[in-house]
Structure 1
Amino acid sequence: MKNVLILGASGSIATLVTRQLLDDSRVHLTLLVRHPDHLADDIRNDSRVTIVVADVVKDTATLLESVRGQDLVYANLYGANLKQQGQAVVAAMTTAKVSRILWISANGIYNEIPGKYGQWNAQMLGSTLDAYAAGAKAIESSNLKYTIVRPAWFSDKDVISYELTQKGQAFKGTEVSRQSVAAYLTSLILDPSQAIRQSVGINEPDTDGAKPSFY
């Protein structure tokens, strides 16, 4: 059995990942959320799902107990205090001796987006981009086996089509479907030997421009 802890599990990407993982009978999921009523009924009622209600910064003892015995942590967190959230997750994983983490961030945290889209993205995200950058730095500064994932802007396209860039490379594209990001994350969870200590940008090919098509 593969034990996976998802932090911020009620988010749209995390929900898609959860459903994909539950298609694999070898996976047991622990879902840590602040608002369990935001979880879909089919997920809440699945026998291979354990739900934990906690805040990763305020409830560090609960976070630590949730991390113990896991094979991998997937963090789908957001908020102005992402630095503190990242530090709390690193501390819990270090104490529990769990090393593999997937951390969702945002495109633009390294000023890696060229041209007009980079300017538009920075203006749209504002201080939120600083929070994402601080959270990613907390993870990168640790000794964990991390993969940081930096998606373009999410679309609701019913398609799985993506390409990847590495830290230090110019970011490509302006958008990516939620299904594509979920498919990539699921592949990392099922084969966690991929992309260790890498920060990966993900976008839909041929979506270059000044801003996503839906803006």
Structure 2
Amino acid sequence: MKILILGAAGKIGQMLTNELLNKTDHSIVLYARNGHERLTVTDNCREAIFDGDFTDKNMLIEAMENVDLVYVNDMGNENSTKTIIDAMKVAGVKRVIAASVLGIYDEVPGAFGVWNNQMIGVDSSVGSRMKSQIESARLIENSNLNYTLLRISWLYNQEGNTRYMFTQKGEPFMGTQVTRQAVTQLIMHIIEEKSDKYLQASLGVSEPDTDWAKPSFY
């Protein structure tokens, strides 16, 4: 399989690259702004780097040549998301895993929901970005691509902690936090899944037993 990581210089993008290199024989295309400055190839036979941003349709199409699956590490700009979708259709790539945030369906209940809205909701200081996340998710869901949308809770790092759980679209979001290590393992699991289990799915992703009023690191 050939996998394109859009946003490969991000923390999860880098973790995913390492996991793919160490645990699979897949080829990897690393796509990032100033990618050759920010990224290092460790296996010339399996890795390629593309410099570009998510609005460069021609560069995206070039990076998608012979790609089987695209992972999108950020959907905070709906124009970029639209360009990615358009490029995938031109390149003939159907499978996408896209990282979003919790709250795009107003699905976070209780005290944590109130706190989350204050921090990243549409009426918060970063509300324009949440509006873009909402629109980006809508574009992905209406794209006719084989998508898996990940609505990820508040992120932190903890080596060895790969615990995660799901809530489905239409269910109340549970859990206030999750490690980047766990999210990386989930993405790996979805990539390797042979069935249609995760197709056309929007999954809330969090750590079990973290149903608190806010993440532990706040």
TM class by smaller structure:
over 0.9
Give the equivalent residue in structure 1 for 2:48: 50
Range that drifts further, 82-91 or 189-198:
189-198
Give the equivalent residue in structure 2 for 1:142: 143
Contact 1:173 1:203 in 2 (8 A): yes
Give the equivalent residue in structure 1 for 2:163: 161
Contact 1:83 1:135 in 2 (8 A): yes
Which amino acid counterpart does residue 206 of structure 1 have in structure 2? Answer: D
Give the equivalent residue in structure 1 for 2:115: 120
Which amino acid counterpart does residue 95 of structure 1 have in structure 2? Answer: V
Deviation at 1:45, TM superposition (A): 3.1
Range that drifts further, 137-146 or 183-192:
183-192
Spell out structure 1 runs of 4+ moving beyond 6 A.
none
Deviation at 1:35, TM superposition (A): 2.4
Which amino acid counterpart does residue 38 of structure 1 have in structure 2? Answer: R
Residue of structure 1 aligned with 2:203, choices 183, 187, 200: 200
Q: How does 1:105-116 map to 2 (within 5 A)?
A: 105-116=100-111
Deviation at 1:24, TM superposition (A): 3.5
Deviation at 1:68, TM superposition (A): 2.3
Range that drifts further, 183-192 or 200-209:
183-192
Separation in structure 2 between the aligned mates of residue 4 and residue 190 of structure 1, nearest angstrom:
12
Contact 1:112 1:170 in 2 (8 A): yes
Which amino acid counterpart does residue 47 of structure 2 have in structure 1? Answer: V
TM-score, structure 1 as length reference: 0.92
Separation in structure 2 between the aligned mates of residue 67 and residue 179 of structure 1, nearest angstrom:
26
Q: How does 1:1-215 map to 2 (within 5 A)?
A: 2-36=1-35, 37-39=37-39, 41=40, 44-47=41-44, 48-57=46-55, 59-79=56-76, 82-125=77-120, 126=124, 127=127, 128-158=129-159, 159-191=161-193, 193=195, 194-215=197-218
Separation in structure 2 between the aligned mates of residue 148 and residue 91 of structure 1, nearest angstrom:
17
SS of match in other structure, 2:101: coil
Sort the Cα spacing of 1:154 and 1:184 in 2 relative to 1 into closer, same or farther, 3 A. same
Count residues in correspondence. Answer: 208
Deviation at 1:89, TM superposition (A): 1.0
Sort the Cα spacing of 1:192 and 1:72 in 2 relative to 1 into closer, same or farther, 3 A. farther
What residue ranges of structure 2 are gaps of 5+ in the alignment? Answer: none
- Per-residue CA deviations over 1:31-76 (Å, capped at 9, x if unaligned) read 110022232x4xx23221100001121x211111111210100000
SS of match in other structure, 1:196: coil
Separation in structure 2 between the aligned mates of residue 85 and residue 192 of structure 1, nearest angstrom:
29
Separation in structure 2 between the aligned mates of residue 171 and residue 142 of structure 1, nearest angstrom:
24
Contact 1:122 1:129 in 2 (8 A): no
Separation in structure 2 between the aligned mates of residue 155 and residue 24 of structure 1, nearest angstrom:
23
What residue ranges of structure 1 are gaps of 5+ in the alignment? Answer: none
Deviation at 1:199, TM superposition (A): 0.3
TM-score, structure 2 as length reference: 0.91
Deviation at 1:192, TM superposition (A): 5.6
Sort the Cα spacing of 1:200 and 1:25 in 2 relative to 1 into closer, same or farther, 3 A. closer
Compute the RMSD of aligned alpha carbons: 1.3
